[in-house]
Structure 1
Amino acid sequence: MAIEYPCKSPDINLGEGQENISFPMFLQRRFGPQSADLLSSPPKTAQTPQWAKGWPGKDTGSKSSLREQRILDTTMHDIFLYIGNYLADGQPKRDPWLKALDQLMPAHPFRDELRHPDEEPDKCSSYLWGSFMAAVADLDPQTMRQAVERPDSPAAINARNLIEKTIRRDLQSPEYRDIRYPRGRSGNNVHTIGYLLPSNAANTIQVLSDYAIKVINKKCIEEIMAQPNGPGKLRMLACFVGCASSPNLWHHPIVVRKCLMPLAETLKASLSLKHPQDAPSLIRENLIEVWDSNPRKDII
Structure 2
Amino acid sequence: MAVSQGPAPAVHESSCERAASPDCYCMCDGMMHQRDVLIAAFESRGTPADFDRELTRLFGSPFTTLSMDPVPPDRDRRDNWEPMASASTAKKRSQVEQRVVDVALRDLLRIVHAMPPHSKPGWSSLLNALTIQASWGSIVTQIAAIAGPHDEVSGYFWGSMLAAASGAQTLGSSVSPADIGSFPGSVSTVFDQARHPRANAGNTVKMIKEMTYPNAVSVAAKPVASAWSTTTVTAREKGTVLAIVGSAVSPDLWHHPAAVRYLLLPAVSGIRALVPSASFSLDSAIQTAEDAIRTELAEKWRDRGVW
Q: Bigger radius of gyration, 1 or 2?
A: 1
Partner of 1:194: 209
SS in 2 for 1:175: coil
Against the structure 1 CA distance between its residues 94 and 281, is the aligned structure 2 distance closer, same or farther, given a 3 Å change threshold? closer
Look up the equivalent residue of 2:183 and give its one-letter code: D
Quote the Cα distance in structure 1 between the aligned partners of 2:56 and 2:81.
Answer: 13
List alignment gaps of at least 5 residues for structure 2.
1-43, 273-277
Contact persistence 1:171–1:205 (CA under 8 A): no
The 1:169/1:22 distance shift into structure 2, 3 A limit, reads: same
Kindly tell me: are residues 115 and 59 of structure 1, through their superposed partners in 2, closer, same or farther at Cα, counting changes over 3 Å? closer
- Equivalent residue for 2:266, pick from 262, 278, 287: 262
Q: 2:287 aligns with which of 271, 277, 285?
A: 277
Cα distance, 1:192–1:279 mapped onto 2, change above 3 Å:
same
Aligned counterpart, 1:4: none
Report the equivalent of 1:166: 179
Aligned-CA RMSD value: 3.0
Distance 2:148 2:204 in 1: 24
Distance 1:255 1:166, change over 3 A: same
Indicate yes or no: 2:58 matched with 1:30: yes
Equivalences, count: 251
Among residues 155, 159, 170, which one is paired with 1:126 in the alignment? 155
Q: Which of the numbers 101, 105, 109 marks the counterpart of 1:76? A: 105
TM-score by length of 1: 0.74
Alpha carbons of structure 1 residues 283 and 217: separation in structure 2 relative to 1, 3 Å? closer
With the length of structure 2 as denominator, give the TM-score of the two structures: 0.72
Q: Does 1:182 align with 2:197?
A: yes
User: What amino acid sits opposite 2:287 in the alignment?
Assistant: Q
**Aligned partner letter, 2:201:** S
Paired residue for 2:84, among 43, 49, 56?
56
Secondary structure at the counterpart of residue 282 of structure 2: coil
Instruction: After TM superposition, give the deviation of residue 132 of structure 1 in Å.
Output: 0.7
Aligned with 1:109 (options 112, 123, 138): 138
AA aligned to 1:135 is A
What letter corresponds to residue 169 of structure 2 in structure 1?
A: D
Q: Percent identity?
A: 24
Report the CA distance shift for 1:243/1:37 in structure 2 as closer, same or farther (over 3 A): same
For residues 46 and 181 of structure 2, the distance between their equivalents in structure 1, rounded to whole angstroms, comes to 40
Gaps of 5+ in 1: 1-7, 13-20, 145-158, 225-229
